[in-house]
Amino acid sequence: MISVKDKLPDYHSKLFSEHFPERKYQSEKYLITANSNEVSLYNLYSNNLIGKYVASFSIPPKLVTRQNDYYEFSIRKDLFDEDLKNVKF
């Protein structure tokens, strides 16, 4: 999850609750999920999927690399509507 400086204090994200029903939402703005087949980027303020990579849609199909229990991938910065200097990973 990624937080930003300007938070929405009384907002509760439906998408966050779907992914993390047992956790308390703390105004994180972005959620990144990954597995060997796909990477998804969500905006939790709008509850929208804003970016997605799916291995089977690539030619040739390329799985998401995993090393030391972490998936390795990059996300274009223009998918974020924030200056990346103002985000907390």
What are the sequence ranges of the domains in the chain?
3-81
Residue 83 pLDDT greater than 90, yes or no: no
Look up the pTM and report it.
0.85
Q: Give the model confidence (pLDDT) of 27-63 as tens digits.
A: 899 999 999 999 999 999 999 999 999 999 999 999 9
**Higher pLDDT pick, 31 / 2:** 31
Dihedral sign, CA of 77, 83, 38, 52?
A: negative
Residue 18 pLDDT greater than 80, yes or no: yes
**Higher pLDDT pick, 67 / 1:** 67
Are the C-beta atoms of 64 and 37 separated by less than 8 Å? yes
Q: What does residue 57 show for φ and ψ, rounded to 5 degrees?
A: -90, -5
**Higher pLDDT pick, 63 / 83:** 63
